[in-house]
Structure 1
Amino acid sequence: MTLYLVEDDRQERTKEEVSEILERIATLASKSQGELIEALIGGTEGRLFLIIKAIDRASLEQVLENAGLGWQLIKEMRLIGQDLATVRERKDKANYLVQWNLPPGLTMETYLQRKAEKTPLYAQVPEVSFERTYVCEDLSKCLCFYDSPDEAAVKRAREVVGAPIDSLTSIENIHP
């Protein structure tokens, strides 16, 4: 099974309509041996971020089409910093999402080594809790999730670990 990031705009849908679509995605994914791991709405523009476990991209696309959700992006992802059981338990904790477009030439090995070295530095910003990271398998970008009192604290935490921010979005977890 593979983890996928699916991104789409809410497209004028209400939260209730999005929840209905997510319920269909969760049901259809489970029927095809997959799982909707987490679903988030980001910022005022309402961008959807879904993490879905699926057998392959084709089965994921079929689930999304049958559920009535288009997409702007689908990427294979790797979860860093937590296991799936912990994500399921703690997914409501994250309230900020940082996206970082990774530099060309970076290898997964180098990324993971740097991450292991830098993560303990988050202790210098105790008001922020680093939750987890999803890294695109093609190393195009990563999504880092934080539990933080505000945006400024997330920025301080990123400065401490020396990690750039390409976008910073407040997020809300949606339960289908």
Structure 2
Amino acid sequence: MSSNALYLYEIVPGAERRDQLDQLIKEFDAATASAGGELIETQVTKGGERIFAITEFDGCAAPEIAADTLHAAELDGPHQVRIVGADIEEIKAARPEAGYLVEWDIPAEIDMDTYLTRKKEKSPLYADIPEVSFLRTYVREDTAKCLCFYNAPDEDAVRRARDIVSTPVSRLHELDTER
């Protein structure tokens, strides 16, 4: 494992920027690069209400980026995350799209070891819902929440997949796969 660390930033564009999401992502990418990091992936909700960005920095050097620098309404992060269910080098190489993103606000009593054990035990159950492909999860190191990415025909299929692994949905977003 490298000494690089992954970080999640959540960006809420200002209403006037929703038609300029690609430009906002380019500005965020430039801010990340100027701080010595790499933008690994961005996923945008359908309608452009929120951007989820995963970055990589050497060690723990992820910078605070002010929302007003990007003319965004809000910017939450950096939050250190780890990837589960996929390899970061494969993500970098393929930049795979996902159709849906589930946010799960992890209960306080679940620590990282408990989360990872549960994930390992439950993940094989996804095979019972063949129309849904689980792609990857980013779980915050503080275990406040995780982001799970799926390809599925619709939201109901994603909810069935979450039910089969006995894991709730705090928020479910359809992602913009057109960008």
TM-score interval, smaller chain = 0.7 to 0.9
Instruction: Find out whether 1:52 has 2:55 as its counterpart.
Output: yes
Partner of 2:12: 9
1:105 aligned partner, one-letter code: E
Moved over 6 A (4+): none
The C-alpha deviation readout for 1:40-91, integer Å capped at 9, x for no partner, is 2114362111111124676532597755556431111111111112223454
TM-score, normalized by length of structure 1? 0.86
1:101 aligned partner, one-letter code: D
Structure 2: stretches of 5+ with no match in the other structure: none
CA distance in 1, matches of 2:177, 2:93: 12
Partner of 2:163: 159
Partner of 2:175: 171
Instruction: Find out whether 1:20 has 2:28 as its counterpart.
Output: no
Secondary structure in structure 2 of the residue aligned to 1:172: coil
Structure 1: stretches of 5+ with no match in the other structure: none
Partner of 2:85: 81
Displacement of 1:134 in angstroms is: 0.5
Alignment coverage as a number of residue pairs: 174
CA distance in 1, matches of 2:5, 2:70: 20
Moved more, 166-175 or 138-147: 166-175
CA distance in 1, matches of 2:42, 2:68: 17
Indicate conservation of the 8 Å contact 1:35/1:54, yes or no. Answer: yes
Secondary structure in structure 2 of the residue aligned to 1:33: coil
CA distance in 1, matches of 2:94, 2:10: 21
Partner of 2:102: 98
Indicate conservation of the 8 Å contact 1:39/1:173, yes or no. Answer: no
Q: CA RMSD in A?
A: 2.4
CA distance in 1, matches of 2:156, 2:52: 22
The 3 A distance-change label for structure 1 pair 173 and 32 is: farther
Quick one: percent identity of the two aligned structures?
37
CA distance in 2, matches of 1:19, 1:113: 37
